[in-house]
């Protein structure tokens, strides 16, 4: 599956298509987020699978939450309404 995703990224010209993270066996999404420690985490609200309790941000450690700005978006709405600049996202 990872190879298929990499092929799609390469096909459509994504920069640095090999630089993406994913869950490995035994990991949860919170583990990926805590290892990466992004400045901003944008994720859908998981409404169709149980809501907030299923979201990555909900499950990361309190220490990580202090360092990550969380932007939840409605499921299936997309991110086109969000600012393009990281500095703007950090205060969104």
Q: How do residues 21-66 score in pLDDT, each as one tens digit?
A: 888 899 999 999 999 999 999 999 999 999 999 999 999 999 999 9
Q: Is residue 6 part of a domain?
A: no
Place of tokens 């997309």: 78
Domain count, the chain: 1
- What was the pLDDT predicted at 18? 65
pLDDT at 79 over 90: yes
Within a domain: residue 23?
Answer: no
Question: With contact defined as beta carbons under 8 Å apart, do 72 and 80 qualify?
Answer: no
Q: Is the separation of the CB atoms in 44 and 74 below 8 Å? A: yes
In a domain, 17, yes or no: no
- pLDDT value of residue 73: 97
In this structure, is residue 50 part of a structural domain? yes
Structural domain includes residue 13 = no
pTM: 0.79
Nearest to 5 by CA among 53, 39, 19, 30: 19
Residue 46's domain spans which residues? 28-89
For residue 8 the two structure tokens come to: 């799609």
Burial label for 72, CB within 10 Å (0-12, 13-18, 19+), is middle
């Amino acid at each position: 599956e990872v190879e298929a995703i990499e092929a799609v990224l390469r096909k459509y010209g994504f920069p640095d298509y090999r630089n993406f993270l994913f869950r490995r066996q035994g990991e949860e999404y919170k583990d990926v987020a805590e290892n990466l420690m992004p400045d901003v985490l944008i994720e859908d609200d998981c409404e169709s699978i149980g809501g907030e309790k299923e979201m990555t941000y909900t499950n990361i450690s309190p220490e990580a939450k202090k360092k990550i700005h969380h932007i939840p978006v409605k499921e299936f709405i997309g991110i086109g309404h969000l600012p393009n600049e990281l500095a703007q996202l950090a205060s969104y």
